[in-house]
């Protein structure tokens, strides 16, 4: 069974479409939170998630854009969060607020646990690639899963912590932050309890997104950062 794992779409429908085209048909699509904010197509991103039956957890920007509560955000994020709130319908907001904070599923005998932050704080904690191995192993043990999927940092990593046990972050689709401007995702090929994992980078039309950000009167810095992957 083939599973596409993504995170942090952030209303970048151009990047999402590029990823979907590059990967092609899969059995399951998992999304580790933050469908909206920063980029100019929040409603289209929600519609795409619904249409493709993408299994998504709640991210902090999903929650705060739906509630208009960008407390503690940097100034750019505050502006985009409030802008996003005003674009969303009541139905959109309810959809975001009803997203689960975590997902558990079993695929071909392997147990997966998906959240935006971490098992300790499902929505808001950042787990970075340099997190010590022993802590990563503890996080996985908290879930009882074989594979732990995280988002939030927009930085991809893949760490094996045991036999057929992994913690991964697929990186950001809509706003990568690892110095690579290409959209990031991972493919899990699971067969009878054995998994192979591939990290994929996908080029997309950044100019189109940048121009749309400017046209929407969102901060110019949100357009510029896409070219540098930060």
What is the predicted pLDDT for the residue at 43? 99
What pLDDT digit, counting tens, does each position of 4-39 carry? Answer: 999 999 999 999 999 999 999 999 999 999 999 999
What is the predicted pLDDT for the residue at 130? 97
Q: How far separated are the first and last CA of the chain, in Å rounded?
A: 33
Q: Return the residue matching tokens 């208009």.
A: 68
Task: List all residues 6 or more positions away from 66 whose beta carbon is below 8 Å from its beta carbon.
Answer: 85, 88, 92, 93, 94, 96, 97
**Rounded alpha-carbon distances, angstroms, from residue 183 to 35, 37, 48, 66, 165:** 14, 16, 17, 25, 25
The average pLDDT across 181-204 equals 98
Residue 120 has φ and ψ, to the nearest 5°, of -80, -30
How many helices and strands, by DSSP H and E, does the chain display? Answer: 8, 10
Q: Is the CA virtual torsion 218, 169, 107, 146 positive or negative?
A: negative
The average pLDDT across 174-194 equals 98
What is the predicted pLDDT for the residue at 148? 99
pTM over 0.95: yes
What pLDDT digit, counting tens, does each position of 92-151 carry? Answer: 999 999 999 999 999 999 999 999 999 999 999 999 999 999 999 999 999 999 999 999
Pair 44, 15: CB distance under 8 Å: no
**Tokens representing 87?**
């674009």
What is the predicted pLDDT for the residue at 206? 99
Pair 117, 142: CB distance under 8 Å: no
Q: State the Cα–Cα distance between residues 153 and 171, nearest whole angstrom.
A: 7
Confidence of residue 49 (pLDDT cuts 50, 70, 90): very high
**Tokens representing 197?**
């994992």
The average pLDDT across 30-52 equals 99
What is the predicted pLDDT for the residue at 58? 99
Q: Return the residue matching tokens 């970075």.
A: 128
The average pLDDT across 154-178 equals 98
What is the predicted pLDDT for the residue at 194? 94
What is the predicted pLDDT for the residue at 167? 98
The average pLDDT across 196-216 equals 99
Confidence of residue 171 (pLDDT cuts 50, 70, 90): very high
What is the predicted pLDDT for the residue at 217? 98
DSSP string, 143-158: HT-SEEE--SS---EE
Proportion of the chain above pLDDT 70, given as a percent: 100
Which CATH number is associated with domain 2-107+172-228?
Answer: 3.60.21.10
Q: Return the residue matching tokens 């596409």.
A: 4
Neighbours of 190 (CB within 10 A): 23
């Amino acid at each position: 069974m083939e599973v596409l794992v993504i995170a942090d779409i952030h209303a970048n429908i151009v990047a999402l479409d590029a990823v979907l085209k590059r990967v092609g048909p899969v059995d399951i699509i998992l999304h580790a939170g933050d469908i909206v904010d920063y980029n100019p197509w929040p409603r289209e991103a929600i519609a795409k998630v619904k249409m493709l039956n993408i299994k998504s957890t709640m991210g902090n920007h999903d929650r705060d854009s739906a509630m208009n509560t960008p407390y503690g955000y940097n100034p750019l994020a505050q502006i985009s969060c409030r802008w996003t709130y005003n674009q969303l319908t009541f139905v959109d907001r309810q959809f975001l607020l009803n997203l689960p904070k975590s997902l558990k599923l079993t695929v071909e005998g392997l147990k997966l646990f998906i959240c935006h932050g971490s098992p300790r704080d499902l929505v808001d904690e950042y787990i970075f690639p340099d997190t010590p191995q022993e802590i990563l192993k503890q996080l996985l043990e908290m879930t009882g899963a074989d594979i732990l999927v995280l988002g939030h940092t927009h930085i991809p990593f893949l760490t094996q912590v045991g036999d057929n046990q992994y913690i991964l972050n697929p990186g950001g689709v809509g706003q990568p932050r690892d110095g690579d401007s290409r959209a990031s995702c991972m493919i899990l090929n699971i067969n009878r309890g054995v998994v192979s994992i591939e990290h994929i980078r996908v080029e997309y039309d950044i100019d189109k997104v940048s121009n749309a950000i400017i046209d929407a009167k969102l901060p110019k810095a949100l357009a510029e950062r896409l070219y540098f992957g930060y």
